[in-house]
Amino acid sequence: MDKFLELSERVSNFIKEREWEKFHNPKDVAISVSIEAAELLENFQWRDDEEVDKMLEDRNYLNRITEEMADVMVYLIVMSNKLGVNLIDIALKKMEKNEEKYPVSKFKGNAFS
């Protein structure tokens, strides 16, 4: 099976088995995405880019970061399932928009031209 579908179903089953659907209104799930994003950001606080690059060689540090990324991802999937949309499809659609909005000819090498 498609790996993303596998993940999506696993998240869905996790919630169903625990009967947690009742907690998961879209507003609270959006709050969760935001809180997990802040926890991801916390790993970079007070560190400049060089320090971060050096720390990323440490497997424990990398694991803390990927776990927080995973938390954001899981809540995005909870929300997708809630809203009946496919996260990959909406992201592909957004990339199409981005490609039009930022034509290579105009934005090559410059994010703010």
- Interacting residues with its own copies between 63 and 102 (CB under 8 A): 65-67, 69-74, 76-77, 79-80, 83, 85, 87-95, 97-99, 102
Is residue 69 within a helix (H) or strand (E), and if so which, with residue range?
A: helix 59-83
Residue 61 makes contact with its own copies by CB under 8 A: no
- Is there binding between residue 2 and its own copies (CB under 8 A)? yes
**Distance of alpha carbon 7 from alpha carbon 2, whole angstroms:** 9
38 binds its own copies (CB under 8 A): yes
Distance CA 16, CA 5 (A): 16
Q: Does 49 bind its own copies (CB under 8 A)?
A: yes
Provide, rounded to whole angstroms, the least separation between the CB of residue 98 and its own copies. Answer: 6
Torsion, CA 53, CA 57, CA 63, CA 64, rounded to 10: -40
Asked if 42 is part of the footprint of its own copies (rule: CB under 8 A), the reply reads yes
Q: How far apart are CA 80 and CA 9, in angstroms?
A: 12
For the CB of residue 60, give the shortest distance to its own copies in the complex, in Å. 14
Q: Is 12 one of the binding residues for its own copies (CB under 8 A)?
A: no
Considering beta carbons, is residue 52 or 60 the nearer one to its own copies? 52
Rounded to 5°, angle at Cα 58 from 66 and 55: 90
